A = this chain, B = another copy of it.
Amino acid sequence: MRDVTGVTSVKRSHISHSFFCQVAEPVLTSQLKPHQEKPNFIIKTPKGTRDLSPQQVLVREKILDLVVSCFKRHGAKGLDTPAFELKDFDIAGQFDPMIPDAECLKIICEILNGLQLGDFHIKVSDRRIMDGMFAVCGVPESKFRAIGSSIDKLDKMSWKEVRHEMVAKKGLAPEVADRIGEYVQCHGGVSLVEQMFQDPRLTQSKQALEGLGDLKLLFEYLTSFGIAEKVSFDLSLARGLDYYTGVIYEAVLLQTPAQARDEPLNVGSVAAGGRYDGLVGMFDPKGHKVPCVGLSIGVERIFYIVEQRMKTSGEKVRTTETQVFVATPQKNFLLERMKLITELWDAGIKAEMLCKNNPKLLTQLHYCENMGIPLVVIIGEQELKEGIIKLRSVASREEVAIKRENLVVEIQKRLSES
């Protein structure tokens, strides 16, 4: 499940583990569309998609580029159908625990830092700790998932409300609910993991101990990756327990009180993931368990946040990447503009000119200002005769004369400096 953008990409890096990176789906829903057979594609809008302005498309493209380039920085491999990669393929026991899991958390940090969405933190827990906690607190196994889904609401509801739901609606004994309450209100760093290792009740569960052991190792690795302070062990994290089998994590954006007043966004989870060894194993032809860790980036939510912030700040985004505009003050200079712009295109420079025979110079300069094009090359009779061109900075309005043969080098120099 990946498209040509690398939006959903998969990594089976190294010989030792399988490692999936996935961008959360909503963006794909609205972006990917069936094709039409004939060029009337231009008008037909497939159902269920939405119109995006060029600005919106550009914002999305920039966000996705950042996500994909981070995946590639970590050795991600493009793969159309991950299932394909898993055929004839047995990696059980070949990887060492928690190393790829820690890398997933590092990737999430790099992406959220890169997107400059503001401060964030990542909650981690483990399916085995959650199940172990339920068991030692006295939750009947048949109610594990129902109680898990109540606990998952703790980011939106108070403990009192969640407790009420568990007892009144889901029939949990009040004393069991209170025991759970002692745990799920805890969050902290590696010291909380250590503390739980001393907990006489929780340590009765073998699987909780396994989970705690892995979390301790995870925190050690997070320290080496320099991101331990971004991560907290949070026993209320209960997402995806239907398919995750080990470590789970979820990144949330933090808002300053001022931000919360100015932009009353429902800032929630923007990235999440975990280990799901069992799930993939179910589909393995030989029934092997295939260890997998995965992460999702909530791209649609991130789009929304970025767009809201841009609305608030009035910030504009360029809709093209054009670097240079070719202008003339002269009439009947179209062919000369064409020759000049060909030199730029052939040197890989993004360049435009007006498709008119005799545009006014003011019109051309206004176009550059409107479109945010940084440089203008101006050519006229005089310049042509002297073998020079004028290079104009749109921002400063400064013009310098440059030898025609040095133009490409000079433009490349200016672009690389900016």
Chain A residues within CB distance 8 Å of chain B? 1-8, 11, 13-17, 20, 22, 25-29, 31-46, 49-54, 56-58, 60-61, 64, 72-85, 95-96, 99-100, 102-103, 106, 110, 220-221, 224-226, 240, 243, 276, 279-280, 283, 292, 294, 296, 319-322, 334-335, 338-339, 342, 345-346, 348-357, 359, 363, 367
Contact B39 A294, beta carbon cutoff 8 Å: yes
Q: How far is the CB of A43 from chain B (nearest CB, A)?
A: 5
Could you tell me the distance between the alpha carbons of A44 and B57 in the complex, rounded to whole angstroms? Answer: 28
Max chain B C-beta neighbours (<10 A), residue from A40, A54, A279, A352:
A54
- Is B320 touching A72 in the complex (CB atoms < 8 A)? yes
Residues of B within 8 A of A54 (CB): 77-79, 85
The answer to whether B16 and A3 have CB atoms under 8 Å apart is: no
How far apart are the CA atoms of A79 and B61 in the complex, in Å?
Answer: 11
Task: For the A-B complex with A78-B319, A103-B355 known, give 10 more contacts whose Cβ atoms are closer than 8 Å.
Answer: A1-B44, A4-B31, A14-B353, A14-B355, A20-B42, A39-B276, A42-B279, A52-B79, A96-B356, A100-B355
Residues of B within 8 A of A349 (CB): 73
Tell me if A41 and B22 are in contact (CB < 8 A).
yes
A251 CB, nearest partner CB in chain B, Å: 16
CA distance A99 to B73 in the complex (A): 41
A73–B349 Cα gap in the complex (Å)? 6
Give which listed residue, B37, B53, B296, B320, contacts A39 with CB less than 8 A.
Answer: B296
* Complex contact B13–A83 (CB within 8 A): no
Tell me the minimal C-beta distance from A316 to chain B in angstroms: 14
Measured CB to CB, the closest approach of chain B to A83, in angstroms, equals 5
Flag if A320 contacts B32 (CB, 8 Å).
no
B319 near A352 with CB under 8 A, answer: no
Chain B nearest CB from A21 CB (Å) reads 11
Cα distance, A403 to B32, chains bound together (Å): 48
In whole angstroms, how far apart are the Cα atoms of A85 and B2 in the complex? 28
Q: Are B338 and A221 in contact (CB under 8 A)?
A: yes
The reply to whether A99 and B17 form a contact with Cβ atoms under 8 Å apart is: no
Would B79 and A338 count as touching, CB distance under 8 A? no
Which residues on B sit within 8 Å (CB–CB) of A292? 42
Q: Smallest distance from the beta carbon of A56 to chain B beta carbons, Å?
A: 7
Contact between A367 and B73 (Cβ–Cβ < 8 Å)? no
Flag if B75 contacts A4 (CB, 8 Å).
no
Instruction: Point out the residue from B7, B51, B345, B367 that lies within 8 Å of A14, measured CB to CB.
Output: B367
Known: A96-B357, A225-B342. A33 touches B3 (CB 8 A): yes
Residues of B within 8 A of A52 (CB): 79-81, 84
Query: Contacts A224-B335, A283-B43, A320-B77 given: A33-B1 contact, CB under 8 Å?
Result: yes
The 23 sampled A-B contact pairs (Cβ below 8 Å) are: A1-B33, A1-B36, A1-B42, A1-B44, A3-B31, A4-B31, A4-B32, A6-B61, A8-B41, A20-B42, A25-B36, A29-B34, A31-B80, A39-B240, A40-B243, A42-B279, A54-B85, A58-B78, A72-B320, A73-B348, A100-B355, A110-B346, A225-B338
Contacts of A350 in B (CB 8 A): 72-75
Residue of B nearest to A299 (CB): B4
B356 touches A60 (CB 8 A): no
Which residue of A4, A64, A345 has the most chain B CB atoms within 10 A of its CB atom? Answer: A4
Residue of B nearest to A80 (CB): B52
Output the least CB separation between A119 and chain B (Å): 18
Closest to A37 in B: B25
Chain B residues near A4 (CB, 8 Å)?
A: 3, 5, 7, 27, 31-32, 57, 60-61, 64
The residue on B at minimum CB distance from A38 is: B243
Nearest CB to that of A296 among chain B residues?
A: B39
A103 CB to nearest chain B CB (Å):
7
